[in-house]
Amino acid sequence: MSLKNNIMKNNTKIGLIFIAVFAMVFIRGCAKDSCGDGICQVGEEKRGSCPEDCDSAKVFPDTRWTYQDLPALTNQQRLNLAVEAKKEGDAYSEQVIMEAEELSRELEDYIRKWLDGKADAELPKGLLPPYIDSVKTHDWKLVNPDEITAEEQWYAMNMYDPQEELHQHAVDPHVTYLKLIFIAPFGSKLLIEGDFPHCRFMDYQILEPLDPGHPVTGNMGVGEVAIVDADIEPDEGHVNPFRLGADRNAKKRHYHITFELKKGNAVDLNPEAMIAPAYRAKGNTRVGGPFGFAGPWGGNELVPSIVWLRYYAPDKDAEPYGNVPWPKATLQLSTGEKFWLTCDKSKAVKDQTATVPQRPTPPIEPSNFQGSNFGWFKMYGISLLYAEADTFNKLTPWDSEEEIEKMKKNLRDIFQLLFNRGADAVPPGNYEVSATCCNYISYLIRPISLGKNKVIVLTGKLPTFPGTRNGEEEMTSGEVRYFSITHLQGGGGLGTTLYTGVPHGSLMDDEIITNEDGEYVIVFSREQDRPKNAIKKNNITWQDWGPAGRQNLNLRWLSVRPEWYLPEYAPDEKNIPWDKGAWSGQNYDFSLVGQNRPGVMGPYHPVIHYMTKEEFEALGSNIDPNDVPDWNKNNE
């Protein structure tokens, strides 16, 4: 029996699932009453005014919050382009490659003329396609790499305190994200050198090699090509502090890495590094793309390439950049000449790093579906999550199993058509990770609302992790490298509204109090509803829920195999394969993580409880996590 029908047996009215937080429509466009900001939601009566740009969000994706610009197309136009591409088959791919190679040749010819002193540094208008030379990234100019600083090359989305300021895109507030926008000809290399930061985790991720068979549009499409901290060979005489047993505080910590810039299938070109779920390979070289292809969903346009550099949980005295300079990037032609191509990216940086205001919403009880029976959904791509949410939300109690399975199949077919992604797709299209997500993280998502005088309680067992934040001297092993639970308001990063995935708080592993058995009790409430016994002395972790009644819990479980890995219980694609873990999967099994009780994660499954402030206070001061009562259905 499906999860939907299982819950319908106990509820007379089906509420929202992910739409409660990720309120957007993927296939059908923006619904009239869907703003995705936690104020008005799909299928609900409006309680206040939506942002004035809600109606304009019918053209999706709105690239307001992305680093690149894309043409404004309707969903039907995009689907028409995808159908046409499918019909053309190899001819479609050959045309894309031909256009990309022509751009590469013209760009390389111009670079060589500039190197010879026969061309201006500023690229002439018309040399670059319109969505590379766009409002987000324009005025491209060649420079000597010695004459540009790392700070001019990269831009940062800094770690922050949600109590002090708010940012969007559903990023973990404990993390600093450095991003590098660039373009280059095929056959060239992107060379990066830097110092290993003082932090818990670091990885580089570059946009995949240009591949018409696996287009990427923002956070829609296959994941990037990654190189994780522990795999980077340090310079001779230097130390990699991320390796097991290494000196984390070594003074000499320099490294060099190389990204070869090519076209082709990411797995074929990275035969070890792009094998899920480990993404591990020796050597400091990976193969990525010199620019990207947005596919039918992005109007079949060529766009700039990008590199993500993540610094998870910098040491407390090393925030936000791990007490090291930003790394320096250089581009190199196949014949060895070095250069850099810079651009005016100020609008992209402003849009991605801007703070956003508080957007309070009244206390509200969880919908029936969000209630006591519901556990977690596993994410196999941000856009798939939205699509599943929209489809699920439109189901009715009288939908038959046959009708539900047909809807699921439609989702599978659409994602296969648009992005070549799915459980049965050709690698890397069948991988859990999607574009802009960290390759080493498995994400679990849980929508929930908080009513007046109520508390949300999570109980479970915390996986072990290496201690790093106090400047510990040695890197130790663990069951995870990093673990966090973030609660956020609004959608998750594609930017269909003014409010996209705004964290109101986050708890990382070393902020979560546990008992001697490694078990935790986490309490979320508004400040005025904080139980008197929700204090550190009682082994209780408390966090302010913030001003938004309806939010989403987002769990990050970061593994670096095998040194920091829990093979029996990790919620990864090995233990929860796509066809069984995704709601739209052909063999979906909600018992894995979809129920509000331990499944495949065993004691590490976070169980959700919901009660009044007084009911929690009645538990006393010495609370055993196993004694926290199950969610009382009378409180739904």
The pLDDT value given to residue 491: 63
Label residue 498 by pLDDT band (50, 70, 90). Answer: low
Mean pLDDT, residues 555-579 taken together: 98
The pLDDT value given to residue 497: 53
Is there a contact between 415 and 222 (Cβ–Cβ < 8 Å)? no
Mean pLDDT, residues 519-538 taken together: 97
Label residue 321 by pLDDT band (50, 70, 90). Answer: very high
Mean pLDDT, residues 414-436 taken together: 95
Position 582 pLDDT exceeds 50: yes
Q: Provide the 3-class DSSP secondary structure of residue 195.
A: strand
Q: Which of 3-12, 59-68, 564-573 has the lowest mean pLDDT?
A: 3-12
Label residue 633 by pLDDT band (50, 70, 90). Answer: low
Q: Which amino acid is at 68?
A: Q
Residues 491, 22: Cα–Cα separation, whole Å: 4
The pLDDT value given to residue 46: 30
Query: Mind giving me the DSSP string for 92-108?
Result: HHHHHHHHHHHHHHHHH
The pLDDT value given to residue 437: 96
Q: Which of 199-213, 451-465, 480-494, 501-515 has the lowest mean pLDDT?
A: 480-494
Q: Which of 21-25, 177-181, 348-352 has the lowest mean pLDDT?
A: 21-25
Please give the share of the chain, as a percent, with pLDDT higher than 90: 79
Q: Are strands 254-261 and 285-288 parallel, antiparallel or unpaired?
A: parallel
The pLDDT value given to residue 342: 98
Structural tokens at position 186: 């095929």
Name the pTM for this structure: 0.91
Label residue 18 by pLDDT band (50, 70, 90). Answer: very low
User: Dihedral of the CA atoms 441, 379, 551, 66 (nearest 10)?
Assistant: 80
187-246 tens-digit pLDDT: 999 999 999 999 999 999 999 999 999 999 988 999 999 999 999 999 999 999 999 999
Position 45 pLDDT exceeds 80: no
The pLDDT value given to residue 23: 30
Question: Regarding predicted confidence, which is higher, 593 or 51?
Answer: 593
93-139 tens-digit pLDDT: 999 999 999 999 999 999 999 999 999 999 999 999 999 999 999 99
Query: Mind giving me the DSSP string for 474-529?
Result: B---BS-SEEEEEEEESB-SS-SSS-B-EEEEEEEGGGS-B-TTSEEEEEEE-GGG
Label residue 167 by pLDDT band (50, 70, 90). Answer: very high
The pLDDT value given to residue 395: 78
Position 305 pLDDT exceeds 90: yes
The pLDDT value given to residue 233: 98
Q: Provide the 3-class DSSP secondary structure of residue 590.
A: coil
Alpha-helical runs (H) found in 252-358: 266-269, 346-353
Mean pLDDT, residues 376-403 taken together: 83
Position 618 pLDDT exceeds 60: yes
Beta-strand ranges (E) seen in 364-518 are 377-378, 441-449, 454-461, 482-489, 502-508
